[in-house]
Amino acid sequence: MKKRHIEYTLICLVFMVLSILFFNGCDDKPSASGLHNVSHAGTELDDCYERVKLRFSESNQGTRVYWIGIEKNSKILAHGEGIWLTGGFSNVVHYIDVNYTHNLIFGNKYDYYVYACSNKNKVGNIGAASSRAGPIPLQLSSQWNYSDCYKTCCTEGRKYTQLQNDISGLNGLEARIKTRYGKVCSEGVGPDDGFGVVNCSLKKTNQPMWGQIGYGYERYHDWVIQTIYYWYWEVKESGPIPRYRYEDFCCPLLPLEGDVHLYRCELDETNGLWKFFMDDTINWVDTVYSADWFVTAGLAVISGEILNFEDDMAGTFSDKCHITDCRYRISGQGFQNFYLQSNHFVSDDLNEWGIQRVSGNAFNIWDKNPQP
Amino acid sequence: MLKVKMSLLVLIFLLGMLFLRKVAFSQSDDINFTVKSSEEALDLALKYTGFGEMEGFSIENNFDKAELAVINDDKTPFLHDRINGRKIWRVTFKDVKLSLPSHPDEVDEYSRVFKIFLDPGNGQLLKITAPYLGKEIDFLPEPGAERAESELSGSKDVYQDFVEWDNHASFYDALNSYGTLKVKEISASLVKMPAGADKDVVDVWSITFRGISPRHIKGRGGDSVPVYGRNFVRNVYNAKSGKLMHWTSMPRPDPKDTVYLNR
């Protein structure tokens, strides 16, 4: 009897804990209590979006923030901005602007809901909504010009902020580079690819051939919506198909924000071999044989590169991308320090991307207008 | 005499039934096979692909056939000898439209045929292929094994063996972790390979995507690389977690194969 008593007590305790966890204020599971009389209040069409308006009413639930969202399979596909309203209102009209960044399909039906929550920072989070009412199934009717809207997001055109130095007989390059991940233009929403990288690169003069190693942040729109982070190397030969390897998206040795790592590329031109190192660790070496590279390089480049004008170049004014211990190697010699002068530094637009000599073998780069 | 005729007829009938059963169910009579029937092969194919979890996929609509076959044109680097010239199970799924929760609003524009090759001796997955069936071929085919092995050796991506299944992430899990529907052709291997910082041998999904949107080659002149030099990639995923570990252009296709391009 006592045993059963203990069991009942335990069950009650578990129930109480669960109640506290799942029925706690704004983190309630959505319910329709309070919100009612939801209806479609019209749709306005624009060149790049359609504004869908819903009408709804609320009994007196105090002051809360209300927003409209679109769901599929319990996942929110799009949401509008929140507005603060005080309960006890009838037939208020609010809207959501559905645009090309939401990747919805023209002609398809989607479920629209009204949500309420007391925390404005949680707008768009289904789990945080304390009330939800709907669905209102509506067909996505717009036929906005995708390519026109596309251009309003990212302006494709590569930009560089870099050190470059002609050195004959070049076959090695290294630098310590601070990891400063930026945002890509389309991060989280847009239909564009974007990237930012910082790398050490040995190039042939007047020929599109190089070997490089560095780190970067990148998004391929077709693959996932998130930006991913990596270190990488790449070898471009005279042929049409480059070799590359992008590594460590999820692994312990991914360069972490703020960390400094040594990146080095070496060319053994007598055997046509490239070697890539990170932090001098032999375990990270990758060796690439190339029949095209039985010659030395002629140009040393340490570069910040972005794909779109709006992608962030590495570094910000207050936390620049420091590039130090820049050294090169000439065939038959050891690594030696650069003696950098102002004419070695190039920015595609100094109003947008800063570059600053720190010493004979160190410099900084940064984005002057990074995304917020 | 009548009894003898009747007995012969019954015998012929029984033999006929036995033959028909063998054809219909591709029952293997090799006593060394652990995967003896098409039903078992189908179960394995579903386990490796994970397609049973995929919205829109059903055995009724998508299972085509499971048969014992001998193929001779496999190019899997380092392991093609384990596939070519042997009797292996080939399970075919037809009219497959990939549906990835990671791409909730995208619809697969291709109707794909997946072929899953299985070792009848131990049930290991040998390969998954989904060849492009359209006519706009803007990508280069898989390179020959010798070329592929030469390229992979430099970066230590040496396939050592096929994998003994042990609650691994499925092919579908890997695709859902980092995949795309905008791909014309897919091939995948579940293999043991050195990877990570210590180059420990781990189980990986090595999945090659051909006919994708072109990759961005870094460096001035990166955009001048022809599309067929950029519209493929091999992703390597940890087969335990399904998470992407690295992507690479190697093994690269043979540029001589541009003769196959018709777009």
CATH of the domain at A29: 2.60.40.10
Residue A273 maps to a domain = yes
User: In the predicted model, what is the mean pLDDT of residues A229-237?
Assistant: 94
Residue A186 · residue A213 · CB < 8 Å: no
Domain boundary among A83, A112, A146: A146
pLDDT higher than threshold 70 for residue A11: no
Closest-CA residue to B108 (of B116, B118, B100): B100
CATH of the domain at A347: 2.60.120.700
Residue A12 maps to a domain = no
What pLDDT, on the 0 to 100 scale, is given for residue A18? 44
User: In the predicted model, what is the mean pLDDT of residues A52-77?
Assistant: 86
User: In the predicted model, what is the mean pLDDT of residues B190-213?
Assistant: 90
Residue B122 maps to a domain = yes
Residues A87 and A39 grouped into a single domain? yes
Residues A190 and A136 grouped into a single domain? no
Q: What amino acid occupies position A350?
A: L
Residues A361 and A215 grouped into a single domain? yes
Where does the pLDDT of residue A32 fall: very low under 50, low under 70, confident under 90, or very high at 90 and above? very low
Residue B262 maps to a domain = no
Residue A111 maps to a domain = yes
Residues A166 and A37 grouped into a single domain? no
Residue B186 maps to a domain = yes
What pLDDT, on the 0 to 100 scale, is given for residue A162? 97
Q: Per 3-state DSSP, what percentage of chain B is helix, strand, and coil (rounded to 5)?
A: 30, 25, 45
Q: Do A158 and B213 touch (CB under 8 A)?
A: no
pLDDT higher than threshold 60 for residue B184: yes
Residue B94 · residue B176 · CB < 8 Å: no
Residues A131 and A219 grouped into a single domain? no
Domain boundary among A89, A118, A146: A146
What pLDDT, on the 0 to 100 scale, is given for residue A41? 93
- Closest partner residue to A249 (CB to CB) among B104, B244, B248 is B244
Residue B145 · residue B179 · CB < 8 Å: no
Residue A100 maps to a domain = yes
What pLDDT, on the 0 to 100 scale, is given for residue B33? 83
What pLDDT, on the 0 to 100 scale, is given for residue B199? 75
Q: A291 touching B, CB under 8 A?
A: no
Q: In the block, which residue shows the tokens 């506290």?
A: A20
3 state SS of B38: helix
Residue B251 maps to a domain = yes
The count of structural domains within chain A is: 2
What pLDDT, on the 0 to 100 scale, is given for residue A17? 46
Please state, as a whole number, how many other Cβ atoms lie within 10 Å of the Cβ of residue B7. 10
Residues A253 and A344 grouped into a single domain? yes
Dihedral through CA A211, CA A212, CA A216, CA A219, nearest 10?
Answer: -10
Residue B11 maps to a domain = no
pTM for the whole structure: 0.74
pLDDT higher than threshold 60 for residue A215: yes
Residue B132 maps to a domain = yes
Residues A101 and A184 grouped into a single domain? no
Residues A44 and A193 grouped into a single domain? no
- Closest partner residue to B246 (CB to CB) among A236, A247, A283 is A247
Which residues between 114 and 173 in chain B have a beta carbon less than 8 angstroms from any beta carbon of chain A? 140, 151, 154-156
Where does the pLDDT of residue A24 fall: very low under 50, low under 70, confident under 90, or very high at 90 and above? very low
CA distance A17 to chain B (A): 31
Structural domain boundaries, residue A56? 25-146
Q: Chain A residue with minimal CA distance to B179? A: A223
What pLDDT, on the 0 to 100 scale, is given for residue B26? 53
Distances (CA, A) of B69 to A247, B28, B64, B85, B90: 37, 11, 15, 9, 6
Residue B44 maps to a domain = yes
Residues A213 and A323 grouped into a single domain? yes
User: In the predicted model, what is the mean pLDDT of residues A312-341?
Assistant: 97
What pLDDT, on the 0 to 100 scale, is given for residue B21? 44
CA distance B243 to B204: 10
Residues A264 and A360 grouped into a single domain? yes
Residue A214 maps to a domain = yes
pLDDT higher than threshold 90 for residue A293: yes
Closest-CA residue to A191 (of A103, A96, A311): A103
CA distance B73 to chain A (A): 24
Residue A31 maps to a domain = yes
Quote the percentage of chain B above a pLDDT of 70. 87
Residue A229 maps to a domain = yes
CA distance B223 to A305: 13
pLDDT in tens, A109-152: 889 999 988 776 677 777 777 788 999 998 887 666 655 555 45
Domain boundary among A86, A117, A146: A146
More confident residue, A371 or A324: A324
Q: Do A218 and B196 touch (CB under 8 A)?
A: no
pLDDT in tens, B142-182: 999 999 998 888 777 899 999 999 989 999 999 999 999 99
The DSSP code for B102 is: T
CA distance A317 to A322: 11
pLDDT in tens, A144-166: 665 555 545 688 899 999 999 99
Residue/partner pairs of A32-36 with CB below 8 Å, 24 or more apart:
A32/A131, A32/A132, A32/A133, A33/A131, A34/A58, A34/A59, A34/A61, A34/A87, A34/A116, A34/A131, A35/A114, A35/A116, A35/A131, A35/A132, A35/A133, A36/A133
Structural domain boundaries, residue B55? 29-256
Q: A157 touching B, CB under 8 A?
A: no
Residue A46 maps to a domain = yes
Residues A108 and A209 grouped into a single domain? no
- Closest partner residue to A242 (CB to CB) among B107, B151, B229 is B229
The count of structural domains within chain B is: 1
- Closest partner residue to B255 (CB to CB) among A193, A201, A240 is A240
Chain A hits for B156, Cβ within 8 Å: 286
Query: Which conformational region is residue B221 in: left (phi greater than 0), alpha (psi within -120 to 50 degrees), or beta?
Result: left
Residues A166 and A268 grouped into a single domain? yes
